[in-house]
Amino acid sequence: MSRTPDLAPEQAPAAPARAPRQRIQRRPVHGVLLLDKPLGLSSNDALQKAKWLLRAEKAGHTGTLDPLATGLLPLCFGAGTKFSQVSLDADKAYEAVLQLGVKTSTGDAEGEVLQRRPVDVTREQIEAACAAFTGEIDQVPPMHSALKHEGKALYDYARQGITIERPARRVTIHRIDILDWQDGEIQQLRIAVRCTKGTYIRTLGEDIGERLGCGAHLSALRRTGSGPLRVEDAITLDALAAMSEDERLALLRPPDSLLQDWPALRLDADEAGRFLSGLRRRVAAADAGQVRVYGPEPQAFLGSAHVKAGELIADRLLSPQEVQSLLAGPGT
């Protein structure tokens, strides 16, 4: 029986050469990108993809969307990250689909079915149930959430079968509109919700289901608004990837787009320089908790501040370099 002789090391076939890993040359990029997050992708994964496409040095998002949720995810780059908290604190708008009659372990379509109940409700009963949760309410955060307990996300405890006691949190549901009610075999309820930050729509859906006596879980969720920003103005990752680099940069909104519903104050060149150094300035303006401040040039956004007793007091300032970069254009 013949045997193929072993190859000496010098005779062994060479391993195929690996293509060198492409290195991305990062650069300062300043502004806000409105992204329409796709289904199945985490908010951080979506951020990293957009950051790579823009070759941005610094980036952050303004409020987590679960992988099962889609819709508006404002992404902040460079100087824009200084004002991301404004979008985090803003009221939110959602469209949600509730599957009535089925309660799951997670409150959404990913969980195991815990209970099935018959659905026998009228539109009037649905309207009354939604009205019962409009206004200020107390919500207990779900165990399957990113809320932290002793430095660990609640969903990590939930996956181990551990339940942590969670105090109720006060949120405000500004309005709930019924968009569609499919009776019969489907038994799905589609609603539009406007609410304050920190509202858990899956918990709201479960509570509405219990109010109706049949239970419910969240089968789909789409964020449609955050403060003054709307999903209609957002772009998908696929569309962003298909663009040229200049087209991507042109999509960036200035950082003050997050503050567009705040009153504005404009300073002359001397006062603008002093303001940027952190000095309080005397202004002829009424007290205000939130203002956006500009220099003499129309687009010279300097930062955020508040006015108290005739003094303009800085809260978040851009650096002079950031101001100049924004005046020159995104990515410069």
Minimal CA–CA distance to 23: which of 55, 66, 1? Answer: 55
Minimal CA–CA distance to 259: which of 93, 95, 78, 74? Answer: 74
Query: Do 300 and 323 form a contact (C-beta atoms < 8 A)?
Result: yes
| First-to-final CA distance of the chain | 72
Q: How far is CA 304 from the centre of its chain?
A: 21
| Category of 308 on φ-ψ map: left (φ > 0), alpha (ψ -120 to 50) or beta | beta
Whether 256 is catalytic: no
- Contacts for 177-180 with beta carbons within 8 Å, 24 or more apart? 178/123, 178/126, 178/127, 178/130, 179/95
Q: What gap in Å lies between CA 109 and CA 105, rounded to an integer?
A: 9
Task: Give, for 226, the enclosing helix (H) or strand (E).
Answer: strand 216-226
Catalytic residue among 6, 36, 45, 66: 66
Which residues are annotated as catalytic?
A: 66
